[in-house]
Chains A and B, each alone.
Chain A
Amino acid sequence: MTTQILLAGFGGQGILFAGKFMAYKGLLEGRQLSWLPSYGPEMRGGTANCNVILSDEPVGSPIVTDPDVLIVMNLPSFDKYESTVVPGGMIIADSTLIEKKSERTDIKCFYVPATKMANDMGIPTLANMILAGKFIRETGAIKWEGMEDTLHHIISARHQDMFDANLKALKAGYEYEG
């Protein structure tokens, strides 16, 4: 199975980090994968996006043009990428930041008020990981088991205090109904 994921939002929302988390989880599960960030000046405050492919076969092009899953954290990206999701695919949107709903009937859509949830939980920078938790729950593309190990890998040594917060965010997303 191959899952092509497009994560998109503003720079600073942790789009690349959430993608990196998925890639690392895939690595530790022994999957084939690629992680490709947008790069350049747009990384500072402009739009940021990141392509992640998780597969059981060698990854061909790392460029995701028709995602199976779109994880989206701002309206411009929602407008830009909604139509690119493959039929049968999925959108996971931060509904605190995107009031709009998709009119497509051939895809599944999940609206998670991730930014509000993160603020309420006192972890305002981790809406990205709430959406990642929802992604795990709804796609099964990566497993919940081994989550702690992955977080230890990607959270640098000097930020290990962020470990609990990330786990909390992932859990909140994983358990979110709706």
Chain B
Amino acid sequence: MAEVVLMKGNEAIAESAIRSGCLYYFGYPITPQTEIAAYMAKTMPKRGGVFLQAESEIAAINMVYGVAGSGKRVMTSSSSPGVSLKQEGISYLAGSELPALIVNVQRGGPGLGGIQPSQSDYFQATKGGGHGDYHMIVLAPSSVQEMADLTSKAFDLADKYRMPAMLLADGTIGQMMEPVVLPEGKPNLIDKPWAANGTLMKRKHNIINSLNLDTPDLERQNFERYKKYAVVEENEVMYEDYMMEDAEVCIVAFGIAARVAKNAIAAARKEGIKAGLIRPITLWPFPKKPIAAAAEKPELKGFISVELSMGQMIEDVKLASSMKKPVELVNRAGGMIPTPDEVLTAIRKMAGGDK
């Protein structure tokens, strides 16, 4: 049996990345994710990899661009303000069809904001962030185990679809320790014939590029890319269905918010209120189908989106449910976390009266 170890979420990301065949890490210190850089600095040299503290987030993401274009697994990590700086590079990664992992251990914003956990980069992560039409695969871990598992998954998906992937965590999951089983076995590395890693005079040159001044052709490229995105949306949605079978109230929450929601659901069920949870694990592609299906159920009274933001994911819940049922918001912002009681109160209200 695989060994269970106790690790911080941030450290689990780092160790899992190395085990997933990522031997290149570039980053810049920022709370609350610096443990990732510290772990990489300590570990990479011993494992034959490269850790480099870049001069800026901008430099770090462009170092990632270089390694990704040469065909190797690579990552960077940061927290909200630093991830804003990386957006240009992420857009270039998407435009050049390059796989890479970007970790965002979110903190409260906007601006310099605070250092406590937040989910207020949801829009940035799922709707683009940088310029142009593009998506990243966005994975939202809700435990230290998922920090490890989804890091590994992110590399696989990024390689498979040749697109950047983001692990969208938050300060809580990054800082907390839980038992975790780390990935074992050989990483799932694939051949990358498109990589610009030297022709060795054996083939025509490969070019890693997002520039295209032929306007109709650039349009064609965009349409092609969105065909790929449609395949991702069809095949790669991940979510957890938690007590939804008989639910009259459906909570939608990810990451740390989903764990708070589970406490509230347990309390509600003790009171006889049938509450359940749809927990998106992929935020893009968003689990539209299960939400649409829940909205069709006659017994369902509505949805409650629980978020550490002013209400961002709620827009996707409204779209996915086609507003067939009411969609309410329970939220805290700026680094505060909703309490199970706050969620329970909203569940009670939606279920009707003080039942």
Determine whether A and B are in direct contact in the complex, meaning some CB atoms lie less than 8 angstroms apart.
yes
Q: Which residues of chain A in 62-79 are interfacial with respect to chain B, using CB atoms and an 8 Å cutoff?
A: 62-63, 65
Question: Which B-chain residue is minimally distant from A31 (CB atoms)?
Answer: B179
Q: Is the CB of B32 within 8 A of A60?
A: no
Closest Cβ–Cβ distance, residue A178 to chain B (whole Å): 32
Report which residue of B6, B31, B175, B262 has the largest number of chain A beta carbons within 10 angstroms of its beta carbon.
B6
Given the interface pairs A27-B6, A34-B176, A35-B178, the reply to whether A40 lies near B115 with Cβ below 8 Å is: yes
Q: A20-B177, A60-B340, A61-B262 are in contact. List 19 more A-B contacts (CB 8 A).
A: A27-B179, A32-B179, A33-B178, A33-B179, A35-B6, A36-B176, A36-B177, A40-B31, A40-B32, A40-B115, A59-B259, A60-B260, A60-B263, A60-B266, A61-B256, A61-B260, A62-B259, A63-B172, A65-B340
Which chain B residues have a beta carbon within 8 Å of chain A's beta carbons? 4, 6, 31-32, 115-116, 171-172, 175-179, 256, 259-260, 262-263, 266, 337, 339-340
Q: How far is the CB of B87 from chain A (nearest CB, A)?
A: 25
Task: Verify B172–A62 contact, CB threshold 8 A.
Answer: yes
Q: Which 7 pairs across A and B sit closest by C-beta, in order of nearness?
A: A35-B177, A60-B262, A60-B263, A36-B176, A61-B260, A61-B259, A40-B115
Also in contact, A24 and B6, with CB within 8 A (given A61-B262, A63-B260): yes
Q: Indicate if the CB atoms of B177 and A39 lie closer than 8 Å.
A: no
A45 CA / B69 CA spacing, docked (Å): 46
Q: Report B289 CB to chain A, min CB distance, Å.
A: 26
Q: What is the minimal beta-carbon distance from B122 to any residue of chain A, in angstroms? A: 19
Complex Cα distance A61/B179, Å?
Answer: 15
* Interface flag for A23 (CB, 8 Å): yes
Q: Is the CB of A61 within 8 A of B263?
A: yes
Which parts of A1-53 form the interface with B (CB within 8 Å)?
A: 20, 23-24, 27, 32-37, 39-40
Residues of chain A within 8 A of B6, CB atoms compared: 23-24, 27, 35
A60-B259, A61-B260 known; A34 vs B31 contact (CB < 8 Å): no
Residues of A within 8 A of B175 (CB): 36-37, 39
Chain B residues, Cβ within 8 Å of A24: 6
Secondary structure call for the A interface: mixed
What is the distance, in angstroms, from A17's C-beta to the closest C-beta of chain B?
12
Nearest opposing residue in chain A for B175, CB measure: A39
> Interface of chain B, helix or strand or loop or mixed?
mixed
Given A27-B4, A39-B171: A34 and B262 interface contact (C-beta under 8 Å): no
Contact of A61 among B4, B116, B340 (CB under 8 A): B340
In the assembled complex, how far is the CB of residue A26 from the closest CB belonging to chain B, in whole angstroms? 9
Give Cα A32 to B337, complex, Å: 22
Q: Which residues of B contact A40 (CB under 8 A)?
A: 31-32, 115-116
Q: Knowing A60-B259, A60-B260 touch, does A65 contact B178 (C-beta < 8 A)?
A: no
CB-defined A-B contacts under 8 Å, sample of 23: A27-B4, A27-B6, A27-B179, A32-B179, A35-B6, A36-B172, A37-B175, A39-B31, A39-B115, A39-B171, A40-B116, A59-B178, A59-B259, A60-B259, A61-B256, A61-B259, A61-B262, A62-B176, A62-B178, A62-B256, A63-B260, A63-B337, A65-B340
CB closest chain-A residue, reference B262:
A60
Measured in the bound complex, the distance between the Cα atoms of B177 and A33 in whole Å is 8
Q: Which residues of A contact B172 (CB under 8 A)?
A: 36, 62-63
Instruction: Enumerate chain A residues within 8 angstroms of B337, measured Cβ to Cβ.
Output: 63
List, in ascending order, chain B residues with CB within 8 A of A65's CB: 339-340
* Chain B residues, Cβ within 8 Å of A60: 259-260, 262-263, 266, 340
Which chain B residue has the least Cβ–Cβ distance from A30? B4
Which residues of B are found within 8 Å of A63, using beta-carbon distances? Answer: 172, 260, 337, 339
Shortest Cβ distance from B6 into A: residue: A27
Cα-based distance from A20 to B266 in the complex (angstroms): 27
- In the complex, chain B residues whose CB is within 8 Å of the CB of A33: 178-179
Min CB distance, B2 to chain A, in Å? 14
CB contacts (< 8 Å) of A59 on chain B: these are: 178, 259
Q: Which residues of A contact B176 (CB under 8 A)?
A: 34-37, 62
Distance between Cα atoms of A37 and B266 in the complex (Å)? 25
Complex Cα spacing A86 to B170, Å: 28
How far does the alpha carbon of A39 sit from the alpha carbon of B6 in the complex, in Å? Answer: 18
Q: Which residue of B lies closest to A19 (CB)?
A: B177
The chain B residue sitting closest to A35, CB to CB, is: B177
Please measure, in the bound complex, the distance between the C-alpha atom of A61 and the C-alpha atom of B175, giving whole angstroms.
Answer: 14
Nearest CB of A to B137, in Å: 26
In whole angstroms, what is the CA distance A24 to B115 when docked? 27
What residues on A are CB-neighbors of B177 within 8 Å?
20, 23, 34-36
Most interface-central of A32, A59, A60, A65 (chain B CB within 10 A): A60
Nearest CB of A to B260, in Å? 4
The CA-CA distance from A65 to B176 in the complex, in Å, is 16
Q: How far is B6's CA from A23's CA once the two chains are assembled, in angstroms?
A: 8
Most buried by B among A20, A34, A63: A63
